[in-house]
Amino acid sequence: MACQILITGLIARVANEQRDPLRFLTDFRDEIKAVVKGVNISGMDNTDRVRQVAQATVDELFSLMKPPSTD
């Protein structure tokens, strides 16, 4: 959980420095999801469960992020 919060903060910090933070986050999320779909661990017959857990973790990570502030 602590690593997820740390990574979320880092991603949010980088996004805030972008001209369009929401687009950055959307593109970043899509890239991460594409990587997760390609996860293949040698020696395992079935990596579907690993992909499912990784996908759930990505979804959880991005659900922790709130929309950019309008202040």
Which residues have C-beta within 8 Å of that of residue 57, sequence separation ≥ 6? 4
Contacts 24+ apart (CB under 8 A), 19-25: 21/68, 22/67, 22/68, 25/62, 25/65
pLDDT number for residue 28? 84
Position 69 in a domain? no
**Which residues form the domain of 44?**
2-63
Q: Are 41 and 47 in contact (CB under 8 A)?
A: yes
What is the pLDDT at residue 70? 63
Within a domain: 70: no
68 assigned to some structural domain = no
pTM over 0.85: no
pLDDT for the residue numbered 66: 65
Q: How many domains does the chain have?
A: 1
Q: Divide the 71 residues of the chain into consecutive groups of 10 and give the mean pLDDT of each group.
A: 73 83 83 83 80 86 68 57
Q: How many CA atoms lie within 13 A of 64 on its CB side?
A: 17
